[in-house]
Amino acid sequence: MDAILKGLTESQVQAVTHIDGPLLILAGPGSGKTRVVTHRIAYMIAQGVSPSQIAAVTFTNKAADEMRNRVGELAPGKPVWMGTFHRFCAQLLRRYAPLAGLSENYSIYDSSDSKQAMKRAIQAAEVSISHTSPEQIASTISNAKNRLVTPEMMASGSSRTGDVVAAKVYPIYQQQLLTANAVDFDDLLFHVAIMLRNNPELRSDLDARFRYILVDEYQDTNLAQYAIVRGLSIDNANLAVTGDPDQSIYGWRGADLNNILDFEKDYPAVKTVRLEQNYRSTPNILRVADQLIRHNRQRKQKDLYTHNQEGDAVVLRIFEDGYQEADGIADEITNAIRAEGMRPRDFAILCRMNALTRSLEHSMRSRGLPYQIINGVEFYQRKEIKDLLAYLHLINNPSHDVAFHRVVNVPTRGIGAKTIERLRRYADVNQVPMLEAARNVYQVEGIAKRSATFVTRFVEIYDRLSKKASATLEDLLRYLVEETKYEAFLEKSTVDQQDSSAIANVDEFISAAVEFDRQHPEDGTLEAFLEQVALVADTDAFEDSDDRVTLMTLHAAKGLEFPCVYIVGVEQGLLPHSRSMDTDAGFEEERRLFFVGITRAMQRLQLSICKRRTVRGDTRPAVPSPFLNELPLDELRKVESVVDRDWFDEDPDADNQYPESWDLADESDDIVMNGDTGNGDTGNGDAGEVHETAAPFFDEACQLPESELAEIVQ
């Protein structure tokens, strides 16, 4: 017990030792919220609460893993359910699938599967999309699900043109998913929330089963997530949530800040604990973070103090372009490792979009710096992996129409688009899965005999594979590759494209299967494997023990901490992202995202901007982020290669002024472009090369076009 409470502050102890009744921990970054959650779980177990009655919900698998390790140290051998909302719901849904019209081997569509399904639903709905787009419809439906709006509700209540179209597509999309015995990501939450609402007995059983629920990062819950935890905490209102409204960064996914702001109203008996001491960062870093976030209007001021020692000033560094930025950062990290005994794992480079990591990767590779990109999803998005996964999906769930589409003619076996279209029509009319239509190919109108033979051959291959469904995953996968002649198919396309990575990827996939078999000697079903793959979040590849520099997006960095943090591309259009600048709410959310990034840093923080930025091969002048103007500029150490002395002079009226205060076009005449550092702010001998060109940087308040930024990572 001592070990559990030792070293905690008084307020932390208050939170940790509160067992029964609702609890709200409201505090800024680095104040120990997550630490309190883990210690509280250990404390409850020590007090005799059964581990099986506790569920701890997090936003990333990485956060859950970390929590599991920490609780494991404090209360060894006591398995507590920990995982993401999606995993929690996936497991409940597996158990109660029929209540949602599914069977228990249902599949989870990933985003590209959902996209395919959406296209098909739009076609089947026969709506005109001239005033909207498939993406718009998908996003309207996704938002509806996050707000627990059913197809019927949407049909009766919508008015805007886009909504009318979406309202027509929504029921068809849902019906197609059900026919395919599949769900999309939003459905995991949606089905469970609706299930709890419609089945009071089940709700109260589960309420009793999960007597104690803890939710970290509660500020990012959407209505569906809210309804789920609320539904499970009625008879046993032992719901503990932690959160920081200033770190709410998932508004675009329907997160509703009111969930945390209204918590005290929902649970009047709540005990609220505020933590004010920051253990993570130097005062320098905290001051920068605080100054920034003060510019948000939709917030309550919180004061954070720290006893940590004053550290290095936060650096603002200006580079010519992204390549120099990448080289500069890689050099600095290399030097710090050589000269100061730091480790690669002490460094994280954060960016708004994945697209920015490419040049950083290149620079690190050329210096032999080990790094990892936190984007586990990517591996599973590769074509060859998606093909094999689709076979596995279809074996697991014969109704998985998207998987059927993907593999019916891969490797090529003479089944053309027309044949597939006819099968699809047959499937739609008869409301049967595509595979069923393929089995009945001789009854499908308009399919030539020859094509029908090919279809039948595919069904035969499928049936042989299905017989192996309960083999180990490794055996199944090897058999699959052989039986479908997939490798030969890859070899041929490898020669065509002169790229051998596909075969290496297949090998890597087989290794993943071997590893899965090893980790799950008892329960290593195909279904469990597919669920694991489907729920891989983009933070999953993160291995703490790996001594590597971490490259990740600001979103993925939530909840983590690193001794040295670089935030790259603090530029208009990137941060704030161009898509978020139209509304005050969007703009404030970008500011919170920047705040989250800054507060990941423990000892050192560098923000960088470039004068030119190349995104997807297109080079444009870049404009500094308006957020920079909001930082305590006299505290930042500026390192510039081409220097303008006036740039960051504080504007007394700058408060609450956004891009206007950076309307540099009007000031360009005054700009010193000859490398005169003037105020000596770069007095660290690191001013870099001096250029005399008038940088296009200042010419216009240019914004990278939307299309360039499509690859936003969220």
The residue ranges that bind ligand ATP (CB under 6 A) are 7-9, 12, 27, 29-35, 244, 247, 279-280, 559, 561, 599
Q: Is 703 a catalytic residue?
A: no
**Of 16 and 166, which CB lies nearer to ligand ATP in the complex structure?**
16
7 interacts with, out of Mg ion, ligand ATP, none, CB within 5 to 8 A per kind: ligand ATP
The entry of ligand ATP, Mg ion, none that residue 284 binds, CB within 5 to 8 Å by partner kind: none
Residue 255 β-bridge partners:
222
Q: 279: which DSSP letter?
A: -
Distances (CA, A) of 396 to 124, 181, 391: 26, 11, 9
List all residues 6 or more positions away from 630 whose beta carbon is below 8 Å from its beta carbon. 291, 292, 294, 295, 591, 654, 655
Q: Which one, 559 or 576, has the nearer CB to ligand ATP?
A: 559
Q: What does the block give as tokens for 457?
A: 């051959």
The active-site residue out of 65, 184, 217, 590 is 217
Query: 7 or 705: whose CB is closer to ligand ATP?
Result: 7
33 among known catalytic residues: yes
Contact, 180 vs 433, CB < 8 A?
A: yes
Given a contact cutoff of 8 angstroms between Cβ atoms, the answer to whether 4 and 204 are in contact is no
Is there a contact between 463 and 433 (Cβ–Cβ < 8 Å)?
Answer: no
Select 263 or 658, whichever has its Cβ closest to Mg ion: 263
Residues in binding contact with Mg ion, number by CB under 5 A = 3
CB of 33 or CB of 230, closer to ligand ATP: 33
Q: For residue 588, indicate whether it is catalytic.
A: no
Which residue has the closest beta carbon to Mg ion?
Answer: 34
| Shortest distance in whole angstroms from residue 509 CB to Mg ion | 33
List the single partner that 230 binds among Mg ion, ligand ATP, none, CB under 5 to 8 Å by kind.
none
Enumerate the H helices of 134-160 as residue ranges: 134-146, 151-157
Cβ nearer to ligand ATP, comparing 279 with 379: 279
- Tokens read off for 501: 């990575």
Exactly one of 12, 33, 317, 540 is catalytic; which is it? 33
* Nearest distance, CB of residue 185 and ligand ATP, angstroms: 23
**CB of 350 vs ligand ATP, minimal distance in Å:** 13
Residue 389's contacts (CB-CB under 8 Å, 6 or more residues apart) are 380, 403, 530, 533
Partner interacting with residue 22 (select from ligand ATP, Mg ion, none; CB below 5-8 Å by kind): none
Q: Rounded to the nearest whole angstrom, what is the least distance from the CB of residue 342 to ligand ATP in the complex?
A: 17
- 279's contact among Mg ion, ligand ATP, none, with CB below 5 to 8 A by partner kind, is ligand ATP
The three-state DSSP-derived secondary structure of 464-513 is HHHHCCCCCHHHHHHHHHHHCCHHHHHHHHHHHHCCCHHHHHHHHHHHHH
Q: Which residue has the tokens 């609220």?
A: 272
Annotated binding site: 27-34
The first and second tokens of residue 344, run together, are 């690669």
Numbered residues of the known binding site for ATP: 27-34
The neighbouring-strand residues paired with 58 are 84
Binders of Mg ion among residues 514 to 573 (CB under 5 A) are 559
Provide the pairing of β-strand 601-615 with 618-621: antiparallel
Would you give the binding string for Mg ion spanning residues 15-44, x where CB under 5 A is met?
------------------xx----------
Both tokens of residue 232?
């499970």
d(CA 152, CA 159): 14
Instruction: Choose among ligand ATP, Mg ion, none what residue 9 binds, the Cβ cut-off being 5 to 8 Å by kind.
Output: ligand ATP
Eight-state DSSP code of residue 255: B
Enumerate residues 6+ apart whose C-beta is below 8 A from 157: 149
Among the listed residues 573, 204, 528, 175, the one whose alpha carbon sits nearest the alpha carbon of residue 355: 573
> How far is it, in rounded angstroms, from Cα 668 to Cα 700?
9
Please tell me whether the peptide bond between 51 and the residue prior to it is cis, using omega within 30 degrees of 0.
Answer: no
The active-site residue, picked from 62, 168, 600, 638, is 600
Q: From the CB of 284, what's the least distance to ligand ATP, in Å?
A: 17
* Token reading at 111: 């985003």
What's the chain's Rg over C-alpha atoms? 27
12 binds, options Mg ion, ligand ATP, none, Cβ within 5 to 8 A by partner type: ligand ATP
Listed in sequence order, the residues at least 6 apart from 291 whose beta carbon sits closer than 8 Å to its beta carbon are 630, 631, 632
Q: Which is nearer to ligand ATP, 400 or 558 (CB)?
A: 558
CB of 436 to ligand ATP, least distance (A): 48
Shortest spacing between CB 613 and ligand ATP, in angstroms: 28
| Residue 543 touches which of ligand ATP, Mg ion, none (Cβ within 5-8 Å per kind) | none
Among 216, 290, 538, 571, the one annotated catalytic:
216
Q: What is the DSSP string of 350-396?
A: EESBGGGHHHHHHHHHHTT--EEE--THHHHHSHHHHHHHHHHHHHH
Q: Which does 252 bind (CB under 5 to 8 A by kind): ligand ATP, Mg ion, none?
A: none
Q: Residue 533 or residue 596: which is nearer to ligand ATP going by CB?
A: 596
Which H, E and C letters describe 556-577, residue by residue?
CCCCCCEEEEEECCCECEECCE
Alpha helices by DSSP H, 180-301: 185-198, 200-209, 223-231, 258-261, 263-266, 283-293
- Among candidate residues 38, 174, 247, 539, the one labeled active-site is 247
| Nearer of residues 319 and 542 to ligand ATP, judged by Cβ | 542
For residue 598, give the 3-state DSSP assignment. Answer: helix
Catalytic residue at 216?
yes
Q: Confirm whether 498 is a catalytic residue.
A: no
Distances (CA, A) of 388 to 169, 209, 383, 385, 475: 30, 38, 9, 5, 13
Least distance in angstroms from the C-beta of 212 to ligand ATP: 19
Q: Are 434 and 427 in contact (CB under 8 A)?
A: yes
The number of helix segments (H) and strand segments (E) in the chain equals: 28, 16
By the rule CB under 5 A, 243 interacts with Mg ion: no
* Tokens read off for 95: 């158990």
Q: Which is nearer to ligand ATP, 304 or 671 (CB)?
A: 304
Shortest distance, CB of residue 554 to Mg ion, whole angstroms? 15
Please identify, using beta-carbon distances, which residue of 60 and 599 lies nearer to ligand ATP.
Answer: 599
Rounded to an integer, what distance in angstroms lies between the CA atom of residue 555 and that of residue 543? Answer: 17
* Least distance (Å) between residue 248 CB and Mg ion: 13
Closest separation in Å from C-beta 300 to ligand ATP: 16
Binding site for Mg ion (CB under 5 A): 33-34, 559
Catalytic positions are 33-34, 216-217, 247, 600
